[in-house]
Structure 1
């Protein structure tokens, strides 16, 4: 009898947790991803802001499963699902059959109908995004050093981050510290301390998912770092020359998009109902509507929490969903009753503001400041894959904290768009 074939699309937190949860089960697994690496997204902003290198937060997927002969890893792009034939369609015309399919394809940034803004306002979801942003940030300082026109120099030293969620807040804090603490002794013609970092948010406060007192603390800390916080301002245009907020135009050469996410096309592949962000509306067992053998997990799934709100798109939630689907598959194969419906257990919300302040909301306990930053750091190091990565990140952070020097300030590729 042929082994049950589980096809997993997506090598993020949900996909890997599912594969890990099926270790020892009587299955063969095919894991498909467009990239050859698993990415620890919570620290991606630190690559973008020169704190960490790419190899410290990403690992080749093949190496993770080299001792699991039942796991086959494919570097490929999925173009659709044939539910009747139970096959996954790949770019190039190939197809792969499945007995059970798990879609854990994640999400990307959303521009709310203005995709033309993406070239000048990159989001932050991939290593390529992070290195693009890092390159633009560093090139802005380099070009400002040689610029003789004061207006152009000011635009080069103005950085606008759109969206005041955790990613936007973290980016704004680190870029401001880079300009005010790390770089001043290294430039001769400009004073990098005059840099403007503007954090734009359409809503009434930063970090709106946190308690109001923690949100207020985060804003106050950002302002102490020199970040200009503009609340209640919706962005109406992004160009290579700057950002328009309502009727106000701000000349700047570096824009980072941290507002909104859009799920992968999984709902379109399945012809399934989706929410406004494109996430598949799943049943309590994380199955696609009307499908017994297709599960959806992670940022691709719209799951309702006990509070009536959607489960947040964070790593712990994705890992819990991946682990749950693995339990369901195991139960089916063993002929046991299915587990109880999926229940998300919130482990707390964390966000960092600069290199020595953070906020933590466990519900029953709220922390802020230096102690919260250390807890935030320990938690992130714990979830990294492998002792080598944990040690490398810990050493990088200690070095940065003690020396005030960022360890990954390399411009590795020309940014031709900015050099014209």
Structure 2
């Protein structure tokens, strides 16, 4: 039978619908590149965001385009994929159909939920209203533009200003890397650029509920990171959480009050609210429960991967589990199509990295016995020290961090421009004053106390209109 409108035979290949164009979703799609299936990738945005480098956008080190990649570019090399720019609203697992925000229905043979997570504020009063989160491209741009707007305001104050106070909530990798990048920005670019501001352009304070920053790392690496942050002028306030966020301050659970002109929320993620409406098995944190093979519990042919999913392995919400999980899901779909049983997901821990500043980073990397090519050799795992994680600090860790992140980006243009941007910020010893990337910063104009001419009034209105449009 042919389609009466197109004159072509209907596509009889199994239809795989992948919801989410993040790490997990992209790697599901890539794993199915040579499979006899048709793939539909659904995402609320037209681009993939490399979230580990968003803090570089927020601090003026990279352009937004350096860390985003056009999703439809996947079709250049993979012809069995279509991309739909929409928002998933409903799932009917019995009918094997999903409904999008525009009312369109998509029937599927296999469904993969990899739509990621978003910022959570843990119910902290004032956090959503007054703190800036950093989990999307637009949020990173907003932090950057707000920072420079407030610096301009401070510089044009009629009295000498002692600088801004930036408070970062969260001492995990995102918070620490954000603090380090702000310190680099302040020391290399902003202090000489704003002579109108007394002392430093801004102060940086990291608030962490625990007693240490970077809790997932070893005590030795945590100590190194804390020392490096303090050496760069970052104040650490440890051992107390945030009780309340106000427009000009952060109140801690131990009663301390920290003045803040810009509060950045770099802790806590949770699934999007609509996940609770999909009638799926969820854990207490509303993550989708899966079996060992990453199929959703009780729903054959429906998979979940990445941060939105939680399985028996209870893996951390990081890029590597999402990447490997996405690839695994693609392989399991091919096994099901071939009539073979699925396999349990085995996660290979490639370690973790965090950058603090110029020539300063920390890393835990797998020992020799954990390398995939040698992992099958039993006696290596018994040799003392061979199977331990290797600890790196300073320049070696910095170089590993650089090449891991560059290599993980999608697209040659992104890799080249990001390499150039990071080299300018961190790599060249002779380039101590890199110029930050800035966006739209409205002009700061004081109220006029005396009447002005019609021409001046028109010029001010035009300038205000231009600022608003920008």
TM-score computed with the length of structure 1 as normaliser = 0.92
The equivalent residue for 2:341 is 337
1:137 partner SS: helix
- How big is the shift at 1:372? 0.7
Tell which structure's C-alpha radius of gyration is larger: 2
The equivalent residue for 2:174 is 167
Report which structure shows greater RCO (CA 8 Å, sep ≥6): 1
2:412 equivalent among 341, 364, 387: 387
Alpha-carbon spacing, 1:15–1:194, altered in 2? closer, same or farther (3 Å): closer
The equivalent residue for 2:422 is 397
The equivalent residue for 2:231 is 224
Whole-Å separation in 1 of the counterparts to 2:284 and 2:224: 31
The answer as to whether partners of 2:62 and 2:437 remain within 8 angstroms in 1 is no
Q: Which moved more, 1:18-27 or 1:110-119?
A: 110-119
- Summarize deviations over 1:369-412 as a string: whole Å, max 9, x none: 12211111011111112222222122222222322344542132
1:84 partner SS: coil
Alpha-carbon spacing, 1:106–1:178, altered in 2? closer, same or farther (3 Å): same
1:348 equivalent among 351, 368, 381: 351
The equivalent residue for 2:460 is none
2:98 equivalent among 81, 88, 100: 88
Alpha-carbon spacing, 1:365–1:415, altered in 2? closer, same or farther (3 Å): farther
The equivalent residue for 1:275 is 283
- Summarize deviations over 1:248-301 as a string: whole Å, max 9, x none: 222222110011111234642432333343211211111111000110000011
The equivalent residue for 1:39 is 49
Whole-Å separation in 2 of the counterparts to 1:243 and 1:18: 41
1:182 equivalent among 168, 171, 189: 189
Alpha-carbon spacing, 1:95–1:241, altered in 2? closer, same or farther (3 Å): same
2:143 partner SS: helix
1:106 equivalent among 108, 116, 119: 116
Q: Which moved more, 1:86-95 or 1:46-55?
A: 86-95
The equivalent residue for 1:26 is 36
Whole-Å separation in 1 of the counterparts to 2:389 and 2:147: 39
Runs of at least 5 residues in structure 2 that lack an aligned partner in the other structure: 1-10, 366-387, 445-466
Whole-Å separation in 2 of the counterparts to 1:71 and 1:195: 48
Q: Which moved more, 1:16-25 or 1:107-116?
A: 107-116
Alpha-carbon spacing, 1:380–1:86, altered in 2? closer, same or farther (3 Å): same
2:237 partner SS: strand
- How big is the shift at 1:140? 2.3
Runs of at least 5 residues in structure 1 that lack an aligned partner in the other structure: none
- How big is the shift at 1:194? 5.7
Q: Which moved more, 1:317-326 or 1:231-240?
A: 231-240
- How big is the shift at 1:414? 4.8
RMSD of aligned alpha carbons: 2.0
Alpha-carbon spacing, 1:369–1:69, altered in 2? closer, same or farther (3 Å): same
Whole-Å separation in 1 of the counterparts to 2:434 and 2:142: 17
Whole-Å separation in 2 of the counterparts to 1:126 and 1:394: 21
Question: How many pairs were matched up?
Answer: 409
The answer as to whether partners of 2:124 and 2:243 remain within 8 angstroms in 1 is no
1:372 aligns with 2:372: no
2:360 equivalent among 357, 360, 365: 357
The equivalent residue for 1:64 is 74
The equivalent residue for 2:251 is 244
- How big is the shift at 1:342? 0.6
